[in-house]
Structure 1
Amino acid sequence: MPFTIDILDDGSILEWESTADGTVVTEHDDYTPRFYVGPRSPDSDIDLTKLRRIYENHPDVVATEIVSRRPGFRRDGEEVLAVDVTHVNRVTTLAPQARQLSEFPIGDLACFNVDFLREFRYCLENDIDPTPASELSTLRLSVPVTETTGDAYTELSVDGETITGSTEDILTAVQAAVDERDPDILVCSTSQIIPTLHEMATHAGVGNFSLSRWPDVDYQQLASQSTYSSYGRVGHSPARYNVPGRAIIDESNTFFYGETNLDGVLDLVSRSKKPVQELAWASIGNVLTAIQICEAHDRGILVPWNSWRHEFYKPMGTLHDADRGGFIFAPEVGLHEDVHELDFSSLYPNIICTRNVSPDVIRCECHRDRDDVPGLGYSICDERGYLVDVLQPIIDARDDIKAAIRREQQRDEPDQARFAELEGRSGALKWILVACFGYQGFSNAKFGRIECHEAINAFAREILLTAKQQLEASGWRVVHGIVDSIWVTPDPDVDDSQREDLDVLAREITDRVEIRLEHEAHYDWVAFVPQRESTAGALTKYFGKVAGEDEFKLRGIEARQRSTPAFVEEIQRECLDRLDETRSPEAVLGYLERAIAELHAGDVAVDQLVERNRVSKPLEGYTQNTLNVAALKRACDQNLAVHQGQDIEYVVVDDEKSSRDRVSLVHEDGETYDPSYYETQLVRAVESVLSPLGWDRTDIRRELAETQETMILGWY
């Protein structure tokens, strides 16, 4: 089966298959992509023959036919118009013309199978599994940030080997590596490397340079760069390019390759029919949608271009009851000894599968009088929902992979390559399972439905409350609980002989709720952190010492935040060690004092103080002189393009200033930093460690000042 598919400008198709004897290409020139047009409502009396005559006269239409398809999971086979077009690029321009025709009432027509990505569409329509049959070879090309905005490179790395010199030197080295390795995948630090190298070759008159395996086409641009906003967060999507015969992975624009590895990517390729290149840059929701589309396709169901599922009518009381999130049991701020963490395995996906929660069966007409969803009165049909068929194989596969990981870990000499493969596949599947619940409430989801989202939450609340009640009745005290996890400690008011064993209790709860409750970890102690401006516990900020292990579990505190400098993270972790050894705030503060002294003595390496922050708006969009603004100004001075949604890295050199001199960019190799600024960051990090014991930054500052005063008096 082909691992990558090229759709050339003339409409011809190149299928590239990796075999044990090398890469084989097959060319086709008869591919005609298809979309569908039909009535939005099953009660519509639209004359499709009239619509067919209109499309038949269009020069980009190859053929039309009236066929029977299911326009939705809740609809039987109906007549729709199938339209075959000359080129995949023409689908999204021809489809909307149906809805703009004056002969038909606005809103009466719907289009299906329109907005599919190129390679995915080809695989779906031709029943192709793009999972490579042989191991794929890779070659990595990268450039430093200082080279990303010029017209030509003076430095470039090929598989970690840095090449500098003239344009001819760099092009020769890249071409030699490509010819020698003949990679199936080009892993690029930025996809802009592809056009830049070819433009360099053109300007230098190097006529034989090409990254392509196809002699007639060097590369194609598939999409321009863009900025987007998702859930209030700004992101940047770089331009996308295609090199015939090779899959491109852009490290600046990939989620699954960055979060897992190539094995994780390939596992999802087999499940989604999205070839490597499209899978690498796709979002979690995009891949989940592709898997759902494959299931719909197998059932003969068309995919709507735009989601138009209205929310079912519900009375005000039901709206109130349904508009709630998952289970939350606010943490008890403080340090708790002998704590156990219990987690429900893939709770939301398993709720979907064990309770049959799916858009096609929720609130069905055939069981409308049933009350299947606790507290909401929603019915769920007895017929198996399509979402169950989508998720159950993924749940089962991840369980098998996790079992294989445990077996590998128990071996005397684990196979590290095998272990990395299993970890990558497990991680990729985890992200799909994490997203499946939230996507049901996403307004633009192809097959989502808000009632599914509400039902899943309702079942989750009931399950966690059931677990909480049974744990407390069996001699355990719940100190925190959120969504799918519960933290418990032995109830001091219950005799040890009357307290039920946690493993036995977990099995009993598993049998009762039909979803596996796992003993995730045992901690010598866990500390729950209060909110910054409140004494209430922060739901997702805690840390604890894993029993019998030399490690901590950290959530939400500075050492887990991507913007935290390495030095601050190191000091916070050392303070955790001191707290574990002594339970003494004074011991922690003693270590903090030494770190502050090291800062002010100038003994901290500048590269350990780098901050990394996301740029949320263009430079002119900021109204305050923040650190990001200072860094963006410096980047602008150096003609470095930093887009919204991208990261910028810098060291704070003088926080008292408001100009661009406030920071230095990471590549500038500055030798100075602002010790007072980083002292503040250290105090903030140590506050997170000591706040469960009742200390805030005011207490920390006062203690530090008193210690310094005592030292000065003692010196005199």
Structure 2
Amino acid sequence: MPFTIDFLDNGRVLEWETTSDGAVATERDDYTPRFYVAPRSSDTDLDLTELRTIYDRHPDVVTTEVVRRRPGFRRDEEDVLAVDVDHIDRVTSLASQARQLSDYPIGDLACFNVDFSREFRYCLENGLDPTPATDLSTLRLSVPMSESGNETYRELSIDGETVSGRSADILTTVQAALKAHDPDILICSTSEIIPTLYEMAATAGVGDFTLSRWSGVEYQQLASRSTYSSYGRVGHSPARYNVPGRVIIDESNTFFYGETNLEGILDLVSRSKKPVQELAWASIGNVLTSIQICEAHDRDVLVPWNSWRHEFYKPMGTLHDADRGGFIFAPDVGLHEDVHELDFSSLYPNIICTRNVSPDVIRCDCHHDREDVPELEYSICDERGYLVDVLEPIIEDRDEIKAAIRRERQRDEPDEKRLRELEGRSEALKWILVACFGYQGFSNAKFGRIECHEAINAFAREILLTAKQRLEAGGWRVVHGIVDSIWVTPDPTIDDTERTDLETLATEITETVNIRLEHEAHYDWVAFVPQRGSDAGALTKYFGKVAGEDEFKIRGIEARQRSTPPFIEEVQRKCLEQFDATRSPEAVFAYLQKAIKQLHAGEVPVKQLVERNRISKPLEGYTQNTQNVAALKRARDQDLAIHPGQDIEYVVVDDEKSSRDRVALTHEEIETYDASYYETQLVRAVESVLSPLGWDRIDIQRKLSTGKETVLSSFGSVDELS
């Protein structure tokens, strides 16, 4: 089976397979991609004869035929027009023409199987599994940030070995590495390396330079760079390139390779039928959609080009009840001893599978008088939904992989390579399961339906409340709960002999709700952090000491935030260690004083003070002189390519200034830093540690300014603080 597919300008297709002797290409010239046209609604009575005649006359159409397909999961088979196209790049434009025909009123016709990515379409239509038959060889090319905007590289790394100097020397070294390794995958720090190397070759007169495995075609640009906004967050999509015979993984534009590894990608390749290159740049939702499309294809269901599902009618009361998320208990702010965390295993995916929540069966006509969904009174058909068939194998496989990971770790000498493979696969499947719920409410989801999203939340609320009630009846006190997790401590009003052990309770709850409740962790203590400027608990900010282990679980505070400099993170973690060892706010404060002294003495390496922030707009779009603006001005002065949606890294050297001198970029020679600014960041981080004990930033700053000793008794005992 091919691991990558190339599409040439003349319509030919190259299927590349891995063998023990290297990659081998099979050339095809008979591939004709297909899309479909059908009435938008089963109630619309349209004669497709004239439409077929129009397409038959089009020079880019190879053939047409009327076939029987299902235009939707809730529709039976009916006549649809299949249109075979002579080149894959003409599918979208030909489908668009169906909307412009005066003989067919706008809204009467719908197009299907249109907006598929190229390699995925090829595999789907030809019944191919693009999982490589042998291991794929890799070669990594990277350039430092200082070279990112240059037309000619002065420095480039090849599998960690840096080569610098003249263009000809760099190109010769790259060519030698390609010959020695003959990689199936080129892993690039940025995809712009590909066109830049060719431009360098042209300028330097190196005529025999090539990255390609196919004579006559060097590289192709698949997409231009773009900036987009998703749920209020700005992102950047770099230009995408293709090199015949090789897979390109752009490290600046890959979720799954960054969050998992190559083994995780290959696991999803086999499930989604998206080849490695397309899967590497795909989003979670894109891959989930591909898996769903494969299931639809097996059922002869067509995939709509645009989503047009209407929301079912709901009375006002149901709308009010449905517009809610999962259940959340307000965290009990403070320090709690002997805390246990229990989690429902893959709660939302398991709700889908155990309750048969699927777009094709929710609020079915055949059981409209039933009230299967709690609170909302939606019916769910007895017929098995397609989404269950999509998710159930993933849930089962991930459970098996997690069990294999546990077994491997229990061995005297674990196989680290096998562990990495298993962990990569587990992480990849986890992300698909994480997205499957939210994607049901996404307006552009191919097969989603908002009623599924609402039903899943309703079931989740009922399940968490059931767990809370049973745990409290068993002698445990709930100190926090959020969606699928719940934290409990022994209820001090219940005698130990009357308290039911958690394993027994978890088994009982599992049998009641039909979803496994697992004991996630036992903590010596857990601290729930208040919201800044409020006594209310922050829902996702807490930290705790894992019982019997030399580790902490940290969520939401600075050590878990991507923008936090390494030094600030290290100090916060050390403060947690000090607090765990002494249970003394004074010990934490003493460590803060030590860190501040280091800062002002200039003893902190500048690389430990690097901040990383995401750029949300072009430089001209900012109205305030923020640190990001200062960093962008410096980048522009150095011709560095930083686009909205990308990260920029810098050190704050003088926060009092508003000019570009406020910061220095990480690749520059930085001789000093703004110690006062980083002191403020340290205070903020230590406030997160001490705030569950009643200390806020004002208390910490007052104590720093006075330098007076404050006895622990003035803050109450540990029992009182908790």
Q: Same fold (TM over 0.5)?
A: yes
Alignment partner, residue 607 of structure 1: 607
Give the Å deviation of 1:708: 6.2
Q: Structure 1 unaligned runs (5+)? A: 711-716
Residues in 1 aligned to 2:705 and 2:583: alpha-carbon distance in whole angstroms? 22
Residues in 1 aligned to 2:42 and 2:652: alpha-carbon distance in whole angstroms? 63
The superposition leaves residues 30-88 of structure 1 with CA deviations (integer Å, 9 ceiling, x where unpaired) of: 00000000100111121100000011111100100011100000000011100000111
Residues in 1 aligned to 2:651 and 2:167: alpha-carbon distance in whole angstroms? 32
Residues in 2 aligned to 1:627 and 1:533: alpha-carbon distance in whole angstroms? 24
Alignment partner, residue 580 of structure 1: 580
Give the Å deviation of 1:709: 9.5
Q: Give yes or no for the alignment of 1:53 onto 2:53.
A: yes
Residues in 2 aligned to 1:205 and 1:47: alpha-carbon distance in whole angstroms? 61
Residues in 1 aligned to 2:373 and 2:334: alpha-carbon distance in whole angstroms? 37
Alignment partner, residue 373 of structure 1: 373
2:39 counterpart letter in structure 1: P
Q: Equivalent residue of 2:353, what SS?
A: helix
Q: Give yes or no for the alignment of 1:426 onto 2:412.
A: no
Residues in 1 aligned to 2:334 and 2:487: alpha-carbon distance in whole angstroms? 13
1:146 counterpart letter in structure 2: S
Residues in 1 aligned to 2:411 and 2:26: alpha-carbon distance in whole angstroms? 44
Give the Å deviation of 1:21: 2.7
Q: Give yes or no for the alignment of 1:474 onto 2:477.
A: no
The superposition leaves residues 198-255 of structure 1 with CA deviations (integer Å, 9 ceiling, x where unpaired) of: 1111121111110000011000000000000000000000000000000000000000
Alignment partner, residue 259 of structure 1: 259
Alignment partner, residue 156 of structure 1: 156
Q: Equivalent residue of 1:318, what SS?
A: helix
Q: Equivalent residue of 2:23, what SS?
A: strand
Alignment of structure 1 residues 53-202 onto 2, 5 Å: 53-202=53-202
Residues in 1 aligned to 2:263 and 2:220: alpha-carbon distance in whole angstroms? 26
Q: Equivalent residue of 1:428, what SS?
A: helix
2:257 counterpart letter in structure 1: Y
The superposition leaves residues 301-346 of structure 1 with CA deviations (integer Å, 9 ceiling, x where unpaired) of: 0000000000000100000000000010010000000000000000
Alignment partner, residue 695 of structure 1: 695
Q: Equivalent residue of 1:179, what SS?
A: helix
Give the Å deviation of 1:150: 1.1
Alignment partner, residue 21 of structure 1: 21
1:113 counterpart letter in structure 2: N
Give the Å deviation of 1:131: 0.3
1:633 counterpart letter in structure 2: K
Q: Equivalent residue of 1:668, what SS?
A: coil
Q: Which moved more, 1:243-252 or 1:20-29?
A: 20-29
Alignment partner, residue 414 of structure 1: 414
Residues in 2 aligned to 1:650 and 1:75: alpha-carbon distance in whole angstroms? 56
Alignment of structure 1 residues 222-241 onto 2, 5 Å: 222-241=222-241
Alignment partner, residue 287 of structure 2: 287
Give the Å deviation of 1:504: 1.2
1:583 counterpart letter in structure 2: R
Q: Give yes or no for the alignment of 1:214 onto 2:220.
A: no
Alignment of structure 1 residues 643-682 onto 2, 5 Å: 643-682=643-682
Residues in 1 aligned to 2:240 and 2:250: alpha-carbon distance in whole angstroms? 8
Alignment partner, residue 714 of structure 1: none
Q: Equivalent residue of 2:545, what SS?
A: strand
Alignment of structure 1 residues 539-578 onto 2, 5 Å: 539-578=539-578
Give the Å deviation of 1:509: 0.5
Give the Å deviation of 1:19: 1.5
Over the residues paired in the alignment, what is the CA RMSD in angstroms? 0.8
Residues in 2 aligned to 1:19 and 1:486: alpha-carbon distance in whole angstroms? 50
Q: Equivalent residue of 2:62, what SS?
A: strand
Residues in 2 aligned to 1:457 and 1:9: alpha-carbon distance in whole angstroms? 49
Give the Å deviation of 1:515: 0.3
2:585 counterpart letter in structure 1: P
The superposition leaves residues 348-404 of structure 1 with CA deviations (integer Å, 9 ceiling, x where unpaired) of: 000000000000000000000000000101000000000000000000000000000
1:425 counterpart letter in structure 2: R
Alignment of structure 1 residues 3-14 onto 2, 5 Å: 3-14=3-14
Q: Equivalent residue of 2:326, what SS?
A: coil
**4+ aligned runs moved over 6 Å, structure 1:** none
Give the Å deviation of 1:10: 1.0
Alignment of structure 1 residues 306-325 onto 2, 5 Å: 306-325=306-325
Residues in 1 aligned to 2:291 and 2:210: alpha-carbon distance in whole angstroms? 35
| TM-score of the superposed pair, with normalisation by structure 2 | 0.98
Q: Equivalent residue of 2:667, what SS?
A: helix
Alignment partner, residue 301 of structure 2: 301
Q: Equivalent residue of 1:667, what SS?
A: coil
2:456 counterpart letter in structure 1: I
Give the number of aligned pairs.
Answer: 710
Alignment partner, residue 349 of structure 1: 349
Alignment partner, residue 507 of structure 1: 507
Residues in 2 aligned to 1:434 and 1:325: alpha-carbon distance in whole angstroms? 15
Residues in 2 aligned to 1:706 and 1:305: alpha-carbon distance in whole angstroms? 67
Distance 1:224 1:60, change over 3 A: same
The superposition leaves residues 383-429 of structure 1 with CA deviations (integer Å, 9 ceiling, x where unpaired) of: 00000000000000000000000000000000000000000000000
Give the Å deviation of 1:706: 2.2
Q: Equivalent residue of 2:366, what SS?
A: helix
Alignment partner, residue 393 of structure 1: 393
The superposition leaves residues 284-314 of structure 1 with CA deviations (integer Å, 9 ceiling, x where unpaired) of: 0000000000000000000000000000001
Q: Equivalent residue of 2:441, what SS?
A: coil
Residues in 2 aligned to 1:203 and 1:175: alpha-carbon distance in whole angstroms? 16
Give the Å deviation of 1:553: 0.2
Residues in 2 aligned to 1:634 and 1:24: alpha-carbon distance in whole angstroms? 47
Alignment partner, residue 596 of structure 2: 596
The superposition leaves residues 90-109 of structure 1 with CA deviations (integer Å, 9 ceiling, x where unpaired) of: 00111011011111111000
Residues in 1 aligned to 2:698 and 2:144: alpha-carbon distance in whole angstroms? 42
1:395 counterpart letter in structure 2: I
Give the Å deviation of 1:274: 0.2
Give the Å deviation of 1:670: 0.3
Q: Equivalent residue of 1:157, what SS?
A: strand
Residues in 2 aligned to 1:10 and 1:153: alpha-carbon distance in whole angstroms? 33
Q: Equivalent residue of 1:579, what SS?
A: helix
Q: Which moved more, 1:148-157 or 1:367-376?
A: 148-157
1:44 counterpart letter in structure 2: T
Residues in 2 aligned to 1:196 and 1:164: alpha-carbon distance in whole angstroms? 15
Report sequence identity in percent: 81
Residues in 1 aligned to 2:437 and 2:292: alpha-carbon distance in whole angstroms? 13
1:12 counterpart letter in structure 2: R
Give the Å deviation of 1:669: 2.5
2:307 counterpart letter in structure 1: S
Q: Equivalent residue of 1:465, what SS?
A: helix
Residues in 2 aligned to 1:613 and 1:404: alpha-carbon distance in whole angstroms? 38
Distance 1:581 1:709, change over 3 A: closer
Alignment partner, residue 713 of structure 1: none
1:294 counterpart letter in structure 2: C
Q: Equivalent residue of 1:440, what SS?
A: helix
Residues in 1 aligned to 2:599 and 2:196: alpha-carbon distance in whole angstroms? 42
Residues in 2 aligned to 1:436 and 1:244: alpha-carbon distance in whole angstroms? 34
